[in-house]
Amino acid sequence: MKKFINNPKNFVNEMIEGILFAHPEKLKCINNDLRCLVRADKIKKGKVGIMTGGGSGHLPLFLGYVGNNLIDGAAVGGVFQSPSAEQMYQVTKEIDQGSGVLYLYGNYTGDIINFDMASEMADMDGIKTMQVLGNDDCASSIKGEENKRRGVAGLVFAFKTAGAYAEEGASLGEVARVAQKTVDNTRTMGVALSPCIIPEVGHSTFEIGDDEMEIGMGIHGEPGINRGKLMTADDTVVVMLDHIFRDYEYKTGDEAAVIINGLGATPLEELYIIYRKVHLTLQDKGIKVHRIYIGEFATSMEMAGMSISLLKLDDELKRLIDTPCDSPFYKQV
């Protein structure tokens, strides 16, 4: 295991300490619990709160999107583990400004169980909550079973749109509607070239040949839909976009936001070679790229690989995608 770490047991807490040392004006923990993070600035009275939560090992996901015009708080779990319901509840109480809190997170069983419990705890305090689950990974279950799909990088679109809308003063129901619309309009396909190592486990999450790639693999190493020989960048894009377009229809004239997301070890050079083919393919189909995000948005530590996310935009989503935002990990001007 070749990592810059100290004791594997301290991996998550030392990472968060580093983040809080680096960005004290942006992020703070509450109740002396490093796993309960909220915005350091004052949240507007009456603003709907938005929180997320999930396992560590995916930076900038999840805590990296806590910021202005984004989300207000995050509960942080161990590597690939859900945070506790209690931690979610503590963040809920902290960010609620009297108008309720949206739970916006990825569709994973452990997180769902804990957010459900947190929601009940909040309810007893008279804090209204709603839940929207990211399930953009269209490799993870067949069409018609969208509710079984995992949430991956596309969740960032929902942080962006729901975050901007909440800041505008929208009600909880309205913020949830926009988050759900964003999720419903988003499709992601991923591909992995190499595994990662969970620090406390100490060995690779899976094995893959030197000449192999796995299309559709999840960000925790969940099995994909096809393992085969490494293809060229262009052929890889064609296969991935074909899958997305079979799942979600685009017509000439549609507009999209695009994320080309590195899973951790893939160089920026390669992500731009990928984007080149994505751009040409969308252009051929008459789809206009309204906004493009290229870099690392939802990773799996040192996993090599990438994902492509497309969000179909309407006028409302375009406006919200274009709103400036600012977190230590993502700035849009």
Which residues in this chain contact a second copy in the complex, by CB under 8 A? 2-6, 11, 14-19, 21-23, 56-57, 59-60, 193-194, 210-211, 213, 230, 232-234, 236, 264-276, 279-280, 292, 294, 296, 299, 301-302, 304, 306, 326, 331-333
CB 312 within 8 A of CB 256: yes
Closest CB to a second copy among residues 112, 231: 231
Closest CB to a second copy among residues 21, 45: 21
- Decide: helix, strand or coil at residue 298: coil
Minimum distance of a second copy from residue 94's CB (angstroms): 22
Minimum distance of a second copy from residue 333's CB (angstroms): 6
CB 163 within 8 A of CB 70: yes
Closest CB to a second copy among residues 36, 278: 278
**Catalytic residue IDs:** 58, 220
CB 130 within 8 A of CB 173: yes
Minimum distance of a second copy from residue 39's CB (angstroms): 16
Minimum distance of a second copy from residue 47's CB (angstroms): 21
Q: Quick one: tokens of 172?
A: 């909880």
* Residues forming a β-bridge with 204: 197
* Residues forming a β-bridge with 258: 292, 310
Q: CB pairs under 8 A, 24+ apart, for 165-171? A: 165/320, 166/47, 166/48, 166/49, 166/50, 166/102, 167/44, 167/47, 167/68, 167/69, 167/323, 169/46, 169/47, 170/48, 171/48, 171/99
Closest CB to a second copy among residues 179, 241: 241
- Decide: helix, strand or coil at residue 146: helix
Which parts of the chain fold into alpha helices (H)? 11-22, 85-95, 109-124, 155-167, 172-184, 233-247, 268-284, 315-322
Minimum distance of a second copy from residue 284's CB (angstroms): 13
Closest CB to a second copy among residues 45, 229: 229
Minimum distance of a second copy from residue 223's CB (angstroms): 19
Nearest C-alpha neighbor of 185 from the set 177, 193, 173, 174: 177
Nearest C-alpha neighbor of 53 from the set 97, 121, 101: 101
Closest CB to a second copy among residues 154, 305: 305
